[in-house]
């Protein structure tokens, strides 16, 4: 499912393609997050215009609302939402840990109460595979046990062992699905911030020979140096011929750091979430349109960006839209942020192909951080 076409000679960065059921995905790739079957404030056609072939959906949210009974009637999430590109769905585990008002983990699975109406539900490794198969996910994630930073080693050990057991159960369930479903099941490396445990988790999951692997439990509020250290430590422990995914990364510095460590795909709500608040990516760093200094600014968000927003609208007009709470503001800035990151990833892929990724990363970030 993966073809590597270039490897940077000075770091672990690699480029190529993921071969997914709804078409090839050039990697490394950022995936916009479509929590409820929609990337907020974006038309599907706009995502296609930019070039995004793979978006993310949240199993937890879709399972609770509209519910599987509804989505099943349409034959899956692609048909229900009218998106013909690829979809990766998470397992719902992370949302159960971060949103549910009550949760209890047993060997069998996790029981929780909905954050919407308080109703009680249980997810098991098997039911999560069933749900994602019903959704028609092109990549589905195993149910894993997420842990908070700072927990004791014994607790982290238990969580990773249970995650491995659940990966085996998920794999068995996936193998029982009929051949008409082509989605790939990925395992998730846990182990908290203990290197010995990360190694153990990576080894156990690699033995299962799953189609791909995610590194979970990173980018959860730890210092950037710790993130970098654990990413660089964990990524090489996974098989080279399998896709590698890190969840929750959506700023240029973290994304380029991940690419340098050999990561192929990542996702984050950050670029679209901050867009709805008027915060934009530019080559010179972040910019917030609500700032009064943009009141009559005639420049586009980023003069070097070729997106429809920057081709047509000034910072002053966009600022006005946010001040007047017009819905077009979030739409235009979301488009800009997603096109900005797509362009950056395109440049990163080209830099890897020409063997110059570390230089590209350095000059991009120096300018982005305002050191030029
Ligand atoms: Zn733009």
Q: Tally Cβ neighbours within 10 Å of residue 173.
A: 19
Sign of the Cα pseudo-torsion (127, 132, 133, 135, in order): positive
Alpha helices in 176-223 (DSSP H): 195-207
For residue 215, say if its preceding peptide bond is cis, omega within 30 degrees of 0. Answer: no
Task: Among 95-99, 112-116, 155-159, 361-365, name the one with the lowest average pLDDT.
Answer: 95-99
pLDDT at 189: 98
99 — pLDDT class (breaks 50, 70, 90) = confident
Find, among 70, 96, 85, 81, the residue nearest to 38 by Cα. Answer: 81
Q: Using the mean position of ligand 1's atoms as its centre, give its distance from the Cα of residue 337 in Å.
A: 7
Q: What is the spatial distance between Cα 227 and Cα 341, in angstroms, rounded to a whole number? A: 21
Q: Using the mean position of ligand 1's atoms as its centre, give its distance from the Cα of residue 82 in Å.
A: 26
Q: Using the mean position of ligand 1's atoms as its centre, give its distance from the Cα of residue 279 in Å.
A: 12
Q: Using the mean position of ligand 1's atoms as its centre, give its distance from the Cα of residue 5 in Å.
A: 29
Both structure tokens of 48: 């296609």
pLDDT at 241: 97
**DSSP-derived 3-state class of residue 266:** strand
Q: Using the mean position of ligand 1's atoms as its centre, give its distance from the Cα of residue 321 in Å.
A: 16
pLDDT tens per residue across span 132-175: 999 999 999 999 998 888 899 999 999 999 999 999 999 999 99
Q: What is the spatial distance between Cα 70 and Cα 86, in angstroms, rounded to a whole number? A: 20
Whether 339 and 50 have beta carbons less than 8 Å apart is answered as yes
Work out the burial of residue 205: count CB atoms within 10 Å of its CB; fewer than 13 is exposed, 13-18 middle, 19 or more buried.
buried
Q: Using the mean position of ligand 1's atoms as its centre, give its distance from the Cα of residue 345 in Å.
A: 15
Both structure tokens of 230: 């654990």
For residues 2-19, give the mean pLDDT.
Answer: 98
Q: Using the mean position of ligand 1's atoms as its centre, give its distance from the Cα of residue 342 in Å.
A: 11
pLDDT tens per residue across span 222-279: 999 999 999 999 999 999 999 999 999 999 999 999 999 999 999 999 999 999 999 9
DSSP symbol at 40: T
Q: Which of 8, 90, 144, 264 is catalytic?
A: 90
Q: Using the mean position of ligand 1's atoms as its centre, give its distance from the Cα of residue 161 in Å.
A: 45
Q: What is the spatial distance between Cα 259 and Cα 345, in angstroms, rounded to a whole number? A: 10
Whether 39 and 31 have beta carbons less than 8 Å apart is answered as no
- For residue 267, indicate whether it is catalytic: yes
pLDDT tens per residue across span 281-327: 999 999 999 999 999 999 999 999 999 999 999 999 999 999 999 99
Q: Using the mean position of ligand 1's atoms as its centre, give its distance from the Cα of residue 362 in Å.
A: 22
Q: Using the mean position of ligand 1's atoms as its centre, give its distance from the Cα of residue 14 in Å.
A: 27
Q: Using the mean position of ligand 1's atoms as its centre, give its distance from the Cα of residue 303 in Å.
A: 8
pLDDT at 372: 57
Whether 369 and 285 have beta carbons less than 8 Å apart is answered as yes
Q: Which residues of 73-82 are buried (b: 16+ CB within 10 A; e: fewer)?
A: eeebbbebbe
**DSSP-derived 3-state class of residue 210:** coil
Task: Among 23-32, 99-108, 124-133, name the one with the lowest average pLDDT.
Answer: 99-108
Going along the chain from its start, the domains and CATH numbers come out as 2-268 (3.20.20.105), 278-372 (no CATH)
Q: Using the mean position of ligand 1's atoms as its centre, give its distance from the Cα of residue 263 in Å.
A: 26
Q: Tally Cβ neighbours within 10 Å of residue 161.
A: 16
Q: Reduce the secondary structure of 271-286 to three states and give it as a string.
A: HHHHHCCCEEEECCEE
Bridge partners for 285 per DSSP: 282
Q: Which of 8, 138, 144, 267 is catalytic?
A: 267
């Amino acid at each position: 499912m993966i073809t590597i076409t270039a490897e940077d000679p000075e770091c672990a960065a690699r480029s190529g393609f993921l071969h997914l059921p709804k078409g090839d995905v050039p990697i490394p790739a950022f995936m916009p997050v479509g929590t409820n079957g929609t990337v907020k404030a974006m038309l599907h056609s706009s995502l296609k215009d930019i070039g995004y072939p793979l978006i993310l959906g949240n199993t937890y949210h879709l399972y609770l609302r509209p519910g599987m009974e509804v989505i099943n009637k349409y034959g899956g999430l692609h048909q229900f939402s009218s998106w013909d590109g690829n979809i990766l769905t998470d397992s719902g585990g992370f949302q159960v840990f971060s949103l549910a008002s009550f949760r209890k983990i047993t060997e069998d699975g996790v029981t929780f109460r909905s954050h919407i109406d308080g109703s009680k539900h249980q997810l098991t490794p098997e039911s999560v595979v069933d749900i994602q198969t019903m959704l028609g996910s092109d990549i589905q994630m195993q149910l894993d046990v997420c842990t908070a930073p700072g927990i004791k080693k014994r607790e982290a050990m238990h969580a990773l062992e249970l995650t491995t057991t659940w990966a085996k159960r998920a794999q068995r369930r996936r193998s029982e699905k009929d051949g008409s479903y082509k989605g790939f099941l990925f395992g998730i490396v846990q182990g908290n911030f203990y290197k010995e445990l990360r190694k153990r988790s990576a080894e156990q999951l690699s033995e299962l020979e799953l189609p791909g692997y995610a590194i979970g439990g990173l980018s959860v509020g730890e210092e950037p140096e710790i993130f970098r250290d654990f990413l660089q430590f964990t990524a090489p422990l996974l098989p080279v011929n399998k896709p590698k995914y890190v969840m929750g990364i959506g700023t240029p510095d973290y994304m380029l750091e991940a690419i340098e460590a050999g990561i192929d795909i990542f996702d984050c709500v950050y670029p679209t979430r901050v867009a709805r608040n008027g915060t934009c990516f530019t080559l010179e760093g972040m910019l917030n349109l609500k700032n009064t200094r943009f009141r009559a600014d005639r420049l586009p968000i980023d003069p070097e960006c070729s997106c429809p927003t920057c081709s047509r609208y000034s910072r002053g007009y966009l600022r006005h839209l946010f001040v007047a709470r017009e819905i077009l503001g979030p739409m235009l800035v979301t488009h800009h942020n997603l096109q900005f990151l797509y362009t950056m990833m395109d440049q990163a892929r080209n830099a890897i192909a020409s063997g110059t990724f570390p230089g590209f990363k350095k000059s991009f970030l120096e300018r982005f951080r305002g050191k030029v």
